[in-house]
Amino acid sequence: MNLPQLPAIMFEPLVRAALLEDLGRAGDLTTNAIVPADHLETMVMTTRQPGRIAGLDLAVLAFQLIDPAIQVKIERPDGSAVQAGDVIATVSGPGRGLLTAERTALNFLSHLSGIATATGSVVEAVRGHKARIVCTRKTTPGLRALEKYAVRAGGGSNHRFGLDDAVLIKDNHIAIAKGIRPAIERVRASVGHLVKVEVEVDTLDQLTQALDLGVDAVLLDNMSLEDLGKAVAMVDGRAITEASGRITPTTAPAIAATGVDLISIGWLTHSAPVLDIGLDYR
């Protein structure tokens, strides 16, 4: 997988804050009492279930912020598919630093790998269809860029990163504007010519209105498979089609078979279970 390296330095304040939260006022009381200051150790980060890896750079940063002498050798980089028992990285250096940074490093790594794993499960489910799996803005506050990176590591793609990326006219916007036409007309009069416009539609009648106004994309929300198929035929390549609404790896293949371009799934970032990864004594 050609996955651009995560610029971990951008997230140093986040990792540093997580470490400070754990260290509190007195540091690691347990480790400092048990492990001699000059003790050196080598440990391995090991997966305990199958999945896909994301967030190793954050884990490395956590270790090295605690002790720059810690060295990490990555065995299975971000984007790798792993099985239970695979060693994804070897960590060597002062034993105190290894144990003090352990939980923060694994918290980031397990959470992001869980998102990558969940994304990969849906990507695999729709293999053979053109539909791409995309995330949403339903992310953990402060972690959006990281969680969207994890989606990419799992083989998915990103929807907009924020409210300033593009226009997405949703049901409440339409209700306040008193219709799809006035909502789109107000947007066209307000935003620049390079800004893409997507409209959420619930019915084929709404879709007709949106297409007549030349939108760039349509969000087909909670439509039946029959209506999705009709919607794709109506669009006929004039706009990007995006299906959404409680989609799972089980339901995704049939939705992809309707010919939609995108399938957006919120739970990839807000509810994906962590991937169980441990730091083990070698």
Residues annotated as catalytic (active site), given as ranges: 103, 138, 170, 200, 221
Structure tokens at 239: 């706009």
Alpha carbon separation from 20 to 44, 133, 141 (Å, rounded):
24, 36, 19
115 and 151 Cβ atoms separated by less than 8 Å:
yes
CA distances from 268 to 36, 79, 111, 112, 224 (A): 42, 16, 11, 10, 22
Give the CA distances from residue 137 to residues 110, 218, 264, in Å, rounded to whole numbers and listed in that order: 20, 17, 10
Cβ atoms of 51 and 121 closer than 8 Å? no
